[in-house]
Amino acid sequence: MTATETGADAELRGLAELARSFFTEQVAPRREEFAEQGFPDREVYRKAGELGLLCMSVPEEYGGGGGTFAHEAVLFTEQVKGGDSSMQLGVHTGIVPHYILSYASEDNKKRWLPKLASGEWVGAIAMTEPGTGSDLQNIATRAVKDGDDYLISGAKTFISNGRNCDLLIIAVKTDPTQGAKGVSLVVAEVADDTPGFERGRILKKVGQKGQDTTELFFENLRVPRANLLGAAEGLGFFQLMEQLPQERLICGVAAAAAIEAAVDETLAYTKERTAFGKPLFALQNTKFELADCATIATVVRTFVDDAVAKHLRGELDVKTAAMVKYWTTEQQTQVVDRCVQLHGGYGYMEEYPIARMWTDGRIARIYAGANEVMKDLIARFL
């Protein structure tokens, strides 16, 4: 520890080293294997749980690490810089546990959270439907009361962790006549043999090929009414709105890490690669491009760190979270594209990390709410 480093700083630095070694040594080397099968092995979640890397911001009484979002931000940063895009930890540890922590009954918190923290279970959230995209208030999946249960019927698509999930938060309509006020969130414990539940195909994507993104189908899936999140039906849309700022902040954290990784990778490449008898970095255009990209990286990092600090204080509002998600992911795709260009033909080869950053990162402008939706949301507060 340095003279100016606090205990918290030292803890986060130690966490970064642990997470970095986990991703670089145990997950990233299996990139091709996971891409071929379309999903990561469940054992990597269990290993992450053994190391204490899951649910770090969940209280210890529920099996979590008792930390804050600052710990999660370190994890997401090191995952990006460690070259892994197969484990959808943003969903598993950054999103799903906090819906449960905020809205589930005490019994369900004690049942579900420890299994997510250990990696025994993989978590997912099913919002998007084939015909709705970001229009969550018009989802068609229904939950109909049947005694002490709900019977859920409908279809979801683009579900991260859908292939591996054991615990699934489902956005449903409990009252189709009420628009947003008719949306509820219900948690289902699922397996391949669960009656009324079917995993569809693993979707083939442009990037993030090792991360399972799946269609899910429900036909009278029976779920206890006690698994409703919140004190009453009809709160789901508002719960989503409360939790989405953290999801969008996670996107910003990942974008900042991706920009920094792309700049570092390209600096190393251009200083080693020669053209016209000298390193590429000696060419004025290369220096100017990287100077610009490095400046963008610094501005993005400053913006994201400020947003994380606001979130830790409970001050991150909807508008700022939308700004973070929109602007940082726009910068990510632009900077990575410029870095691909500086690699020349090699930037288009999948064996080079910059090419994978390019294909993996394009989705950032789409998920967690398309950037066009973010701009519309921001404009509402102007």
The pLDDT of residue 8 is 74
The pLDDT-based confidence of 7 (bands split at 50, 70, 90) is low
Active site residue: 247, 260, 265, 289, which one? 247
Can you say whether residue 230 is alpha, beta or left, with left for phi > 0 and alpha for psi between -120 and 50 degrees?
left
Q: Token pair 């939950």 is at which residue?
A: 143
As a whole number, mean pLDDT of residues 114-123 equals: 98
Measured between alpha carbons, how far is 53 from 72 in angstroms, rounded to an integer? 8
Q: What is the predicted pLDDT for the residue at 275?
A: 87
Q: What is the CA radius of gyration of the chain?
A: 21
* Band of residue 2 on the pLDDT scale cut at 50, 70, 90: very low
C-alpha neighbours within 13 Å on the C-beta side of residue 191: 4
Average pLDDT over residues 79-94: 97
CA angle 149, 154, 157 (to 5 degrees): 125
The predicted model gives 55-74 an average pLDDT of 98
Taking 70 as the threshold, does the pLDDT of residue 4 lie above it? Answer: no
What is the β-pairing status of strands 274-275 and 278-279?
antiparallel
Does 127 have pLDDT greater than 60? yes
The structure's pTM equals 0.95
331 and 300 Cβ atoms separated by less than 8 Å = yes
pLDDT in tens, 260-288: 999 999 999 999 999 889 999 999 999 99
Q: Mark whether 247 is an active-site residue.
A: yes
Asked whether 103 and 229 are in contact (CB, 8 A), the reply is yes
In this prediction, residue 138 carries a pLDDT of: 83
Report the alpha-carbon distance of residue 241 to residue 80 in Å, rounded: 26
What's the CA gap between 160 and 124, in Å, rounded?
6
- Report the pLDDT value the prediction gives residue 131, as an integer from 0 to 100: 78
Which residue carries 């520890």 as its tokens?
1
Three-class SS state of 241: helix
Q: What is the mean pLDDT of residues 198-225?
A: 97
Other C-beta atoms closer than 10 Å to the C-beta of 80 total: 24
What pLDDT shows up at residue 137? 81
Residue 187 near residue 104, CB atoms below 8 Å:
yes
Over range 213-219, report the average pLDDT: 97
Read off the pLDDT of each residue in 103-114 and give the average, rounded to a whole number. 98
pLDDT value, residue 1: 45
Say how many C-beta atoms besides its own lie within 10 A of residue 149's C-beta.
17
**pLDDT at residue 264 in the model:** 98
pLDDT tens, residue by residue, 217-234: 999 999 999 999 999 999
> Is residue 142 helix, strand or coil?
strand
pLDDT digits (tens, 9 = 90+) for 294-342: 999 999 999 999 999 999 999 999 999 999 999 999 999 999 999 999 9
- Other Cβ atoms less than 10 A from the Cβ of 209: the count is 24
What is the mean predicted confidence (pLDDT) over 194-210?
96
236, 65 Cβ separation under 8 angstroms: no
In the numeric block, the tokens 């986060």 are attached to 12
DSSP state of 26: I
Per-residue pLDDT tens over the stretch 20-57: 999 999 999 999 999 999 999 999 999 999 999 999 99
- Average pLDDT value for the chain: 95
| 148-196 pLDDT per residue, tens | 999 999 999 999 999 999 999 999 999 999 989 999 999 999 999 999 9
**Residue 133 confidence (pLDDT) above 70:** no
Rounded to 5°, the CA angle 30-33-34 comes to 85
- Residue 317 CA to residue 322 CA, distance in Å, equals 9
Contact status, residue 332 vs residue 303, Cβ threshold 8 Å = no
Q: Are 361 and 254 in contact (CB under 8 A)?
A: no
